[in-house]
C-alpha cells in the first residue's frame, strides 16, 4: 500500500471550518434569527461536540448516532462536530411517525440520540427502548458542551469514512440508510462552487429546505466548507424568504418546486417587487420543476439566476441545467455535472442510441459507499461502479438529459420520495380496506400527489375515506398520507395476477 504523503490534507467539512476560522475568525459563519456564530465560535463548538461525544458519551470513532430535529443553528454544528470526530449521524425527519423513527434509530445502530426539545419525549422513549443516551438541544445541550474541551478531538477521519447517513425509502417501502463519505460530500461542494458561482468566502446561502434531507444539508454545508455564511430558516415561510432576500446579502438559495409554488402564491408581482437582491444563483432540485414555473421565475427574477439540477442522495448532483438553457431546453435536467459520467443503458445492459430511452447510470467522485446493513441492495443499485436510482432518461443530440419516467413506481411529492408499497401496507391494515394500490398523480404545486385506490374488506359495503386517512396520519409521515382514497370494486391485474398500477394511473390522468 502506498504511504500517505506528507502533503496529504483530508477532505472533511470540519477541516474546512477550522481553516476558515484561522483565516476569518470574526466572520459570521452561521445565522438563525437573532442568533449567530462566528467561525471561531463555530470551530470551538464543533470541537466541543466531538469531545463531548467521544469522552462524555464514551462513543468510539466509527459509531453511529441519530439526530431528530428541525432546522436550527445547532443542526450544522452537530453534524460537522460528530462527523469530524469520526462519528456518523443518521438524520431523522422530525415529521416522521414514531414507528419510522424507531426503525431508523435501530437500523442505523445508533449509539446516542440528539433531539430537539419538542421531540424530547419520543427521543427518551427511543433511548429507553434501545438503551442509549439522549441529549436534548437547549440548556442541557449547552451544559453538555460547556463541560467539554474546545481543543481538536484528535481524530482524523479517513475520507472514505461515513460522514452522514440519510434515510430514503427503498423499493420494499422500508427506509434505507445511504452511507455518504466525507470525500463524496466535500468534492460535491467544490463542484457546486465551480458550477453555480455562488459558493465561496464572499457568498451567503439561505437554508430553506430541511437539513435532515440530503440536498438541504449539502447546500447548507457547502457554504460553511468554502468559508461563506449560511443563514438558516427554522421553517419555510414564503414571506420570510422574500424578506431575507431583501434584507440580507444572500447569493445562493436552494428550493424544491413546492417552495416556488408557495413563493409565487403570494403573487408574481409581489416576488418581482421584492427583487433579486444579491442573488447569483437560485437552484431547484428534488422534483421536476414545471416549465410554466420556470417561465414565471425568469420573468420575475431575470434570466441569469435559475439552475435546475438532477441527482440523488446516493449519487450527489448528477446533472445541471444552467440559466441560459432554462427556456431553450424545455423539460431538460441539463448536462452531466463536473467530474460526472452518465450512461443510458437498455434492458440488454448496452448503451442506447441518442434520443432513445434507457436507465440512467452515473459515475463520479460523489457516489455513496453503500446502504447501511444492506449489501444486497447496494449491489443491486450498482453496476461496475456505476449507480442508478432507477430513473429512465434520454439524451438529445447536444447531450442534454431528459427524465421521461421512473423504472420503479417511486412518487416524488414536494421534493420528498414516497414508495407506494409502504403506503399500501398501512392502508390494508385498516379493517375497512381489502386491497390497495397507490400511485402518483401529476400536480402543479407538489410535483405529484398520492392517490390511493382501494377495495372494501370482505363484509364491508363501503370504505369511509376520512376514517382511512385519519388512520394513515397515525402511521405515516404527513407527506406520505394520500390526498385521495378512492373505492373501486376491483383492481386491474395482468395474467400473473399483478396489480396494474400503470393502468390505474393512466385512467386517472386521462380523467383530469
Q: Is the pTM of this model over 0.85?
A: no
Q: How confident is the model at residue 71 (pLDDT cuts 50, 70, 90)?
A: very high
Residue 330 lies in a domain: no
H helix and E strand count, the chain: 16, 26
The predicted model gives 142-160 an average pLDDT of: 95
Closest among 165, 197, 198 to 182, alpha carbons compared: 165
The whole-number pLDDT of residue 405 equals: 59
Q: How confident is the model at residue 392 (pLDDT cuts 50, 70, 90)?
A: confident
In sequence order, what are the beta bridge partners of 436?
454
Among residues 150, 181, 212, which one ends one of the domains? 181
Secondary structure of residue 167 in the 3-state scheme: strand
Q: Which domain covers residue 101, as residue numbers?
A: 1-26+39-181
Which segment of 77-91, 279-293, 359-373, 386-400 scores lowest on mean pLDDT? 279-293
Closest among 288, 315, 203, 293 to 248, alpha carbons compared: 203
492: domain CATH number is 3.30.300.30
Q: Using an 8 Å Cβ cutoff, are 37 and 61 in contact? A: no
47: domain CATH number is 3.40.50.980
Among residues 135, 162, 181, which one ends one of the domains? 181
Residue 31 lies in a domain: no
Q: How many domains does the chain have?
A: 2
Q: Which residue has the higher pLDDT, 258 or 263?
A: 263
Q: Using an 8 Å Cβ cutoff, are 452 and 440 in contact? A: no
Residue 202 lies in a domain: no
Q: How confident is the model at residue 495 (pLDDT cuts 50, 70, 90)?
A: very low
Q: How far, in Å, CA of 455 to CA of 461, rounded?
A: 10
Question: How far, CA to CA in Å, does 63 sit from each of 59, 115, 429?
Answer: 7, 18, 36
Closest among 110, 123, 9, 17 to 65, alpha carbons compared: 110
The predicted model gives 353-377 an average pLDDT of: 95
Q: How far, in Å, CA of 208 to CA of 215, rounded?
A: 11
The whole-number pLDDT of residue 386 equals: 96
The predicted model gives 226-234 an average pLDDT of: 97
Dmax of the chain from CA atoms?
A: 75
Residue 212 lies in a domain: no
Q: Which residue has the higher pLDDT, 346 or 425?
A: 346
Residue 152 lies in a domain: yes
The whole-number pLDDT of residue 425 equals: 79
Residue 175 lies in a domain: yes
Question: How far, CA to CA in Å, does 47 sit from each of 163, 270, 276, 373?
Answer: 16, 43, 37, 29
Residue 461 lies in a domain: yes
- Over residues 189-215, the pLDDT tens digits come to 999 999 999 999 999 999 999 999 999
User: Residue 11 contacts by C-beta under 8 Å, 6 or more apart in sequence?
Assistant: 159, 182, 183, 186, 187
Residue 44 lies in a domain: yes
Among residues 181, 210, 228, which one ends one of the domains? 181
User: Residue 8 contacts by C-beta under 8 Å, 6 or more apart in sequence?
Assistant: none
Output the average pLDDT for the chain.
91
Assigned C-alpha cell, 58: 464514551
Q: How far, in Å, CA of 254 to CA of 220, rounded?
A: 9
Amino acid at each position: 500500500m502506498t504511504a500517505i504523503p506528507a502533503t496529504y490534507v483530508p477532505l472533511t467539512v470540519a477541516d474546512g471550518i477550522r481553516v476558515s476560522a484561522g483565516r476569518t475568525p470574526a466572520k459570521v459563519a452561521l445565522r438563525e434569527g437573532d442568533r449567530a456564530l462566528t467561525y471561531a465560535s463555530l470551530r470551538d463548538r464543533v470541537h466541543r461536540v466531538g469531545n463531548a461525544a467521544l469522552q462524555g458519551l464514551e462513543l468510539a470513532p466509527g459509531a453511529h448516532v441519530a439526530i431528530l430535529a428541525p432546522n436550527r443553528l445547532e443542526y450544522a454544528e452537530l453534524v460537522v462536530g460528530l462527523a469530524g470526530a469520526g462519528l456518523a449521524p443518521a438524520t431523522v425527519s422530525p415529521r416522521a411517525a414514531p414507528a419510522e423513527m424507531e426503525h431508523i434509530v435501530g437500523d442505523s445502530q445508533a449509539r446516542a440520540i440528539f433531539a430537539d426539545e419538542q421531540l424530547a419525549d419520543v427521543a427518551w422513549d427511543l433511548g429507553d427502548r434501545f438503551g442509549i443516551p439522549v441529549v436534548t438541544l437547549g440548556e442541557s445541550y449547552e451544559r453538555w458542551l460547556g463541560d467539554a474541551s474546545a481543543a481538536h478531538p484528535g481524530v482524523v477521519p479517513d475520507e472514505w469514512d461515513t460522514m452522514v447517513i440519510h434515510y430514503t425509502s427503498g423499493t420494499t417501502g422500508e427506509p434505507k440508510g445511504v452511507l455518504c463519505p466525507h470525500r463524496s460530500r466535500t468534492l460535491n461542494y467544490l463542484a457546486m462552487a465551480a458550477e453555480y458561482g455562488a459558493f465561496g468566502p464572499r457568498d451567503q446561502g439561505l437554508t430553506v429546505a430541511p437539513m435532515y434531507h440530503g440536498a438541504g444539508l449539502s447546500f447548507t454545508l457547502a457554504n460553511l466548507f468554502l468559508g461563506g455564511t449560511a443563514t438558516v430558516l427554522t421553517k419555510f415561510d414564503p414571506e420570510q424568504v422574500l424578506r431575507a432576500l431583501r434584507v440580507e446579502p444572500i447569493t445562493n438559495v436552494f428550493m424544491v418546486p413546492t417552495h416556488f409554488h408557495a413563493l409565487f402564491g403570494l403573487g408574481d408581482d409581489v416576488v418581482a417587487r421584492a427583487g433579486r437582491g444579491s442573488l447569483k444563483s437560485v437552484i431547484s432540485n428534488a422534483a421536476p420543476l414545471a416549465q410554466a414555473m420556470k417561465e414565471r421565475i425568469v420573468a420575475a427574477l431575470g434570466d441569469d439566476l435559475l439552475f435546475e439540477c438532477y441527482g440523488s442522495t446516493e449519487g450527489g448532483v448528477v446533472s445541471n441545467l444552467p440559466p441560459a438553457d432554462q427556456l431553450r431546453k424545455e423539460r431538460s435536467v441539463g448536462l452531466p455535472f463536473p467530474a460526472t459520467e452518465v450512461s443510458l443503458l437498455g434492458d440488454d445492459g448496452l448503451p442506447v442510441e441518442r434520443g432513445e430511452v434507457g436507465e440512467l447510470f452515473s459515475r463520479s467522485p460523489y457516489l455513496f459507499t453503500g446502504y447501511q446493513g444492506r449489501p444486497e441492495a447496494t449491489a443491486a443499485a450498482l453496476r461496475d461502479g456505476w449507480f442508478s436510482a432507477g430513473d429512465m432518461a434520454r439524451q438529445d443530440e447536444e447531450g442534454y438529459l431528459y427524465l421521461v419516467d421512473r423504472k420503479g413506481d417511486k412518487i416524488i411529492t414536494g421534493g420528498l420520495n414516497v414508495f407506494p408499497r409502504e403506503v399500501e401496507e398501512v392502508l390494508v391494515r385498516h379493517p375497512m380496506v381489502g386491497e390497495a394500490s397507490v400511485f402518483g398523480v401529476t400536480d402543479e404545486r407538489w410535483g405529484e400527489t398520492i392517490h390511493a385506490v382501494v377495495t372494501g374488506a370482505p363484509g364491508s359495503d363501503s370504505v369511509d375515506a376520512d376514517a382511512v386517512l385519519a388512520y394513515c396520519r397515525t402511521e405515516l409521515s404527513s407527506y406520505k398520507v394520500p390526498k385521495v382514497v378512492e373505492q373501486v370494486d376491483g383492481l386491474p391485474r395482468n395474467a400473473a395476477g399483478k396489480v396494474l398500477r400503470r393502468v390505474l394511473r393512466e385512467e386517472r390522468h386521462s380523467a383530469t
